[in-house]
A = this chain, B = another copy of it.
Amino acid sequence: MAIIVQKYGGTSVADAEKIKNVARRVAARHDKGDDVVVVVSAMGKTTDQLIDLAYQMSDQPEDREMDVLVSTGETVSSSLMAMALRAMGYPAISLSGAQAGIGTETRYGRARILSIDPKRIHKELKEGKIVIVAGFQGICEEMDITTLGRGGSDTTGVALAVGLKADKCEIYSDVDGIYTTDPRIEPNAQKLKEIGYEEMLELATYGARVMHNRAVELGKVYNMPILVASSTRDVPGTLIHGGTSMVEQRNKVSGIAADSDVAKVTVRGVPDRPGIAASLFGPLSDAGISVDTIVQNASVEKITDLTFTVARNELDKAMRLMEPLAKQIGAGEILSDVSLAKVSIVGAGMQSGPGYAATMFRTLFDSKINIELITTSEIRITCIIDESKVKEAVRALHKAFELEQAE
């Protein structure tokens, strides 16, 4: 008898009917003889509504109180799901993150899980119950409620699967799997049967917002297979796992990611001396601004141009911080551009095979798309291009790397 952890996202439990539908799926799984642990997100837009309430109280709601507040969303879903299962005649019990033994660091709003103590869950499973766990929440050493950051219910699911030594963590939502690219951009996008953890991480970071990254990272560290599948339709999903054999045998580009939330800042005439980068990027980091790509041109006469990208909603803040800093170090003017996007090719096989970059650049060139910046990881190549060209770029690359062919 296997232990199965299933996680259902917010749109899958958005109203009473949907919760009952999920309850039926969970019950069917329990009928098969598996021990089922279900992790639920908050109903639909509940979290947003709670956050909205908080901002009616305060311009800067305190993180600890925010966690007390927003964690109620998942608590509500968990109890409703348990009620729905009981109404169907199934023994079910809801547990809070604390009751499920999810211990976290004391870092409100985005706590990392430090420990899983599955005693209570094991006890309830032993009594034949279906256990419903409120996602997204944990408890820290001070016995205060913490939350795991947006999308944290995915992390709850994978962490519980690891802690319970489950066979698999199943993530159900309105997205039925991982595609070679966004099907709204490229209708020929194919659903992948499987994908490696690192490929998934690169795809997620670079635009394919299907799963919470930390959940994938956790899966990778503990080698816990994660199935991403539809919460409403019985169609095969995508298995994220660490097996290498499958990665080798496949077309070496797994998918194309695109992300239009890109703003570029260029600081001209930066003196090229030690410590300059730190003096510019330290204050950005202190202000909580996440800098993505950084490119420094080769220095000419100890003067260089420094370009970096940030999320668009952080551009103003970044510019305000940059201006006095640039003056201080004797740099020149600061330019910004918000009409940019990232397009990336991702594939585990890329690290062992040459020619991917060349194919990518030629494909973009053939489509008359100018490349502004380039960054790479071992299994990813990202080009920053004009935003107006992003769909065209995705389609051209999807074709060039033959992703429209079913696996």
Give chain B residues whose Cβ lies under 8 Å from the Cβ of A75: 68-69, 72, 75
* Identical chains in the assembly: 2
Is A78 in the interface zone, CB < 8 Å from B? yes
Is the beta-carbon distance between A62 and B50 smaller than 8 angstroms?
Answer: no
Give chain B residues whose Cβ lies under 8 Å from the Cβ of A86: 58, 61-62, 65
Is A230 in the interface zone, CB < 8 Å from B? no
Q: Which of B19, B69, B99, B143 contacts A76 (CB 8 A)?
A: B69
Contact string against B for A residues 40-67, beta-carbon threshold 8 Å, 1 for contact and 0 otherwise: 0000000000100110111111101110
Measured between C-beta atoms, what is the minimum distance from A4 to chain B in Å? 22
Give chain B residues whose Cβ lies under 8 Å from the Cβ of A56: 16
- A interface bracket (residues with beta carbon within 8 Å of B): 35 or more
Give chain B residues whose Cβ lies under 8 Å from the Cβ of A403: none
Is A289 in the interface zone, CB < 8 Å from B? no
* Residue in B closest to A19 when the chains form the complex, CB atoms: B57
Contact string against B for A residues 63-94, beta-carbon threshold 8 Å, 1 for contact and 0 otherwise: 01110110010011011101110110000011
Is the beta-carbon distance between B80 and A69 smaller than 8 angstroms?
Answer: yes
Give chain B residues whose Cβ lies under 8 Å from the Cβ of A16: 53, 56-57
Please give 11 more A-B residue pairs, beta carbons under 8 A apart, in addition to A20-B57, A58-B86: A59-B87, A61-B83, A61-B86, A62-B82, A64-B93, A65-B83, A65-B86, A65-B93, A66-B83, A99-B143, A99-B144
